[in-house]
């Protein structure tokens, strides 16, 4: 690799959480970073933090709501401007929860529009450039919920399972062109995702699932309070960005590797029993 060439990265959902930390960490490692933010009023936190770290000139923001039809065109315009992209981090996303019967179809669609179709829109816009350059790494933010689904998190788990399937196919499609596709699969980390998800959680007291949903919410609140530091995830993303030949999956977080190992070796019925026993 030409070490004098400016390396570039584009990170979606850079207003806070993992996205902002990933932008800062990439810039510290010398990348020129474009952080996309859907609400322009939130860009100050990233730009100020970058300035504070002395990497202000290496971070720029672009307004982007990944659910919009023109999201692909916006990313294509960015690509035209910068010419090449070394790393794409598809990070934008949110967690929708509740029991299946209680969740309106609109919400299912919104969850997929953001976590799945938004990610595909952005990816499609950068693929021609990475393919032609014969290099690039696409890092898709999945979750432990993309490997093991928990009750009360159907929309989120379904969307992350979809991200896993899409990434598996895309990795094979792009390998002959020198483009790597990678999944990061975090457990629970302290970001805004919890507060946003809890605010939208469907727990209708008249629902037959009302009590269960309330108790589940309590569990989620507890998980949110005891979740790990998000810097861990930013660090692993940057490590992947710098790797010549990254692996496909990077599970990370407390208990995540053990859970995946147990899923691999235990009969499925045992796993179900263990999950249901933990459920309220």
Ligand X SMILES: NC(=O)c1ccc[n+]([C@@H]2O[C@H](COP(=O)([O-])OP(=O)(O)OC[C@H]3O[C@@H](n4cnc5c(N)ncnc54)[C@H](OP(=O)(O)O)[C@@H]3O)[C@@H](O)[C@H]2O)c1
Q: Is 232 in the site for ligand X (CB under 6 A)?
A: no
Coil vs helix vs strand at 134: coil
Give me the 137-176 binding string for ligand X, x by CB under 6 A, dash otherwise.
----x-x---------------------------------
Q: Which of 168, 173, 192, 211 binds ligand X (CB under 6 A)?
A: 192
The CB-of-176 to ligand X minimum distance in angstroms stands at: 28
Point out which residues pair with 86 in neighbouring strands.
Answer: none
Residue of 156, 189, 209, 250 marked catalytic = 156
Q: Is 13 in the site for ligand X (CB under 6 A)?
A: yes
Q: Is 15 in the site for ligand X (CB under 6 A)?
A: yes
Distance (Å, rounded) from C-alpha 163 to C-alpha 170?
10
Q: Is 114 in the site for ligand X (CB under 6 A)?
A: yes
Coil vs helix vs strand at 11: strand
DSSP 100: G
DSSP 88: E
Annotated active-site residue 177? The verdict is no
Q: How many residues bind ligand X (CB under 6 A)?
A: 31
Q: Are 90 and 115 a contacting pair, CB within 8 Å?
A: no
Sequence-distant (≥ 6) Cβ neighbours of residue 178 within 8 angstroms? 134, 135, 136
Name which of 104, 57, 66 is nearest 88 in CA terms: 66
Give the residue numbers annotated as catalytic, written as ranges.
156
* Residues of the shown chain interacting with ligand X in the complex, contacts defined by CB under 6 A: 12-13, 15-19, 38-39, 42, 64-67, 91-95, 114, 118, 141, 143, 186, 188-189, 191-193, 196, 227
């Amino acid at each position: 690799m030409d070490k004098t060439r400016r390396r570039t990265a584009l990170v979606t959902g850079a207003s806070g959480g993992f996205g902002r930390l990933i932008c800062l960490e990439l810039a510290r490692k010398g990348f020129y970073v474009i952080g996309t933010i859907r609400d322009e009023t939130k860009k100050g936190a990233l730009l100020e933090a970058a300035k504070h770290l002395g990497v202000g000139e290496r971070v720029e923001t672009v307004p982007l709501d990944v659910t919009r039809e023109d999201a692909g065109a916006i990313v294509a315009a960015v690509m035209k401007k910068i010419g090449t992209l070394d790393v794409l981090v598809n990070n934008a996303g949110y967690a929708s929860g509740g029991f299946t019967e209680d969740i309106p179809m609109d919400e299912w669609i919104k969850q997929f529009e953001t976590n799945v179709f938004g990610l595909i829109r952005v990816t499609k816009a950068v693929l021609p450039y990475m393919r032609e350059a014969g290099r690039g790494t696409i890092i898709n933010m999945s979750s432990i919920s993309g490997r093991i689904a928990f009750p009360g998190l159907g929309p989120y788990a379904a969307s992350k399972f979809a991200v896993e399937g899409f990434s598996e196919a895309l990795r094979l499609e792009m390998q002959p062109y020198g483009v790597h596709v990678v999944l990061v699969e975090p457990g629970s980390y302290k970001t805004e995702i919890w507060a946003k998800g809890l605010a939208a959680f469907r727990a209708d007291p008249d629902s037959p699932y009302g009590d269960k949903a309330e108790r589940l919410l309590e569990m989620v609140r507890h998980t949110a309070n005891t979740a790990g530091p998000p810097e861990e995830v930013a660090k692993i993303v940057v490590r992947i960005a710098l790797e010549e030949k990254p692996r496909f999956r990077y599970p990370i977080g407390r208990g995540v590797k053990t859970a995946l190992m147990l899923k691999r070796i235990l009969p499925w019925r045992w796993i179900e029993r263990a999950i249901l026993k933990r459920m309220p």
